[in-house]
Amino acid sequence: MKIKLLLFLITLIVSLNAQDKWLTKFEISGGVSTADYQETMNYFQQLDFASDYADIFGFGRSPQGRDLNCLLVTKEDKTVIEHLLAEGKKPFKKPTVLIINGIHSGEIEGKDACMILLREILITKEKEYLLDSINLLIVPIFNVDGHERKSKYNRINQNGPEEMGWRTTAQNFNLNRDWMKADSPEMQAMLLLVSTWNPDFIIDTHTTNGADYQYSVTYSVEKFSNIDIGLGDWLSSKFIPYLESKVSQKGFLIFPYVSFKNWDEGFVSGITDWASSPRLSTGYFALRNRPSLLVETHMIKPYKERVYATKAVLETSFEFIKNNASELLFLNEQADRNSVKEFLFEKKYLPVKFDLSDKFEEILIKGYEFEKVHSEISGIDKIVYKNSPKDFTVKYYRDVIVRDSIQIPDYYIIPREWSALIDRMRYHGIKYLTTDFDTTLMVERYRFSNVKLANTSYESRQRVSFDIESFKENVNIPAESFIIPTNQRTIRIIAHLLEPKCEDSFVQWGFMNQIFEQKEYFENYVMEKIAEEMIKNDISLKKEFEVKLQTDEAFKNNPYERLNFFYKRSPYWDNKLNIYPVMKLDVKN
């Protein structure tokens, strides 16, 4: 009897020690701290060692030399996976969920939530059943350098953890503005990861700023016409009701991630939804024809509550995808086909800009009592929130309408000298060809006018706005020009990068500002002689000049512009100034 008792105690001690080994720094601290980079990577490496289902791998390096790591969790045959990846094929039979934590590394709940959830899947195994129907790709920390710029004072609005990382990278890039332009080495690595593995559902974890309210966590999915209609309807009608119901049952208040219609007035002005820009994660994955979920816990809630709320959202999402695995795979494949069918072969217009209509509905939102009190510091009324919960009836504006759209050609043509654009497009998994010989083609082109460069830089770039006029002309296309066929699943991304109307296009991001710069100028005494000859030889030009003198007083009183009138119409004028070098080609059947 004593021997049996002794064996039981030994087994119990070993079991308790084993469990202690898998406690996270977050749990050991009572929910107030988070692991640093090395402690985090050690934990994920231990998961790799402990489970045949887990494999950690690097997919890039940060500017400060830290590894960007991802944990693959799957029951599928890894030999088959490696073989399919090598052939450039989709590696999995089951849906794959990509979780991105710490894109803003001060907002790090997702990392701690994933560590606990992975322990329950791989070590204690109470949630191992999830792997019967899904695979996981988990990035513990995306902004690894910002994660290690940790301080108690990095996020003025946020309640814990005790030390938190910084919003931007070591090079001061905001990674969640970099999805399209891909300036940062971290984002370039992430896009290659996404293009290689082609995940089926993406979850991006954050902490929000904003007003005070009762909800522990908010969320956003793309469901408007910036995403395939089948995926948008599926997210709206099936995923959102399931998510809200199950997370609430797990004990956490949840609500859509919204904004105030007028921030100075708060809830009184109403709340709004929107279609996300593709520079943001959810907007980007909508262009990739993939559903994604933005998780935004509330900054003022205790860190412990925020971590477990994030965990509830993650496991609820996993459960939903597990229960709807076949449908998700079908909808994704259908979205890929439909994008090419509708926007290339049927020549439907692709929506690229969106607005909110004036339509609204009234809903209840769980907030807190507040009052406006005059501030001696700011000199205006300040909002003071109280601890008294209150349900507000507010106007909810979520009728998103299309403001502008484009038609996509069969091909885009990029001159060889603009190969830097091709380098960026490779990260997105976009395929291209090069011409073998010179040829002449009738193409569509764009001419810019009213060009205005931004007064300040944004994300390291000087953005530009303009008006656009299209025209057609015969152009010599030299050998080794780049041809981008739009008959590929990345058709939406191709269009958003290359169409000047799109707010995340290369040209609006300032990749090509030199095309707006005049490089040759005239001397007045030279232009005077040329203008006299032009007037003498062209009666219609003379009449045009005289009319402008009579109708435009500013022009009449500006000697330089009077001469420039003739320079622009002379053969000496730079006929490439303000002309977009990227061309569009449609092949007529």
Same domain, 328 and 435: no
Q: Would 70 be classed as within a structural domain? A: yes
Q: Name the residue with higher pLDDT: 9 or 18.
A: 18
pLDDT band at 257 (very low <50, low <70, confident <90, very high): very high
Q: Name the residue with higher pLDDT: 123 or 15.
A: 123
Please give the model's pTM, rounded to 2 decimal places. 0.94
Q: Residue 260's pLDDT is what?
A: 87
User: What percent of the chain has a predicted confidence (pLDDT) above 90?
Assistant: 89
Same domain, 377 and 334: no
Q: Residue 11's pLDDT is what?
A: 41
| Residues 230, 235, 236, 237, Cα dihedral to 10° | 80
Same domain, 56 and 113: yes
Same domain, 107 and 166: yes
pLDDT band at 261 (very low <50, low <70, confident <90, very high): confident
Q: CA distances (Å), 217 to each of 209, 251, 305, 386, in order?
A: 12, 11, 9, 20
CATH classification of the domain holding 54: 3.40.630.10
Total of domains in the chain? 4
**Average pLDDT value for residue range 92-117:** 97
pLDDT band at 9 (very low <50, low <70, confident <90, very high): very low
Same domain, 254 and 277: yes
Q: Residue 211's pLDDT is what?
A: 83
Same domain, 532 and 505: no
Same domain, 340 and 455: no
**To which residue do tokens 């090509």 refer?**
512
Query: Over the stretch 77-95, which tens digit does the pLDDT of each residue have?
Result: 989 998 899 888 888 899 9
pLDDT band at 3 (very low <50, low <70, confident <90, very high): low
Q: Residue 236's pLDDT is what?
A: 98
Same domain, 43 and 114: yes
Element (H, E) at 527: helix 524-537
Which of 345, 350, 346, 484 minimizes the C-alpha distance to 426? 484
Parent domain of 76: 31-349
Q: Would 11 be classed as within a structural domain? A: no
**Average pLDDT value for residue range 261-274:** 84
Q: Would 372 be classed as within a structural domain? A: yes
Rounded to whole angstroms, how far apart are CA atoms 276 and 547?
48
Mean of per-residue pLDDT scores for the chain? 95
Q: Would 10 be classed as within a structural domain? A: no
**Side-chain half-sphere of 135: how many Cα atoms within 13 Å?**
25
Q: Residue 20's pLDDT is what?
A: 80
Cβ neighbours for 452, distance < 8 A, ≥ 6 positions apart: 464, 465, 466
Query: 12 pLDDT exceeds 60?
Result: no
CB count in 10 Å sphere of residue 572: 13
Query: 383 pLDDT exceeds 90?
Result: no
Query: Over the stretch 518-565, which tens digit does the pLDDT of each residue have?
Result: 999 999 999 999 999 999 999 999 999 999 999 999 999 999 999 999
Same domain, 429 and 468: yes
Q: Would 12 be classed as within a structural domain? A: no
Which of 335, 313, 284, 63 minimizes the C-alpha distance to 177? 284
Query: 19 pLDDT exceeds 80?
Result: no
pLDDT band at 16 (very low <50, low <70, confident <90, very high): very low
Q: Would 425 be classed as within a structural domain? A: yes
Same domain, 398 and 418: no
Beta strands in 454-575 (DSSP E): 464-477, 482-485
Low-confidence winner among 29-38, 166-175, 360-369 (lowest mean pLDDT): 360-369
**Average pLDDT value for residue range 158-181:** 97
Same domain, 190 and 93: yes
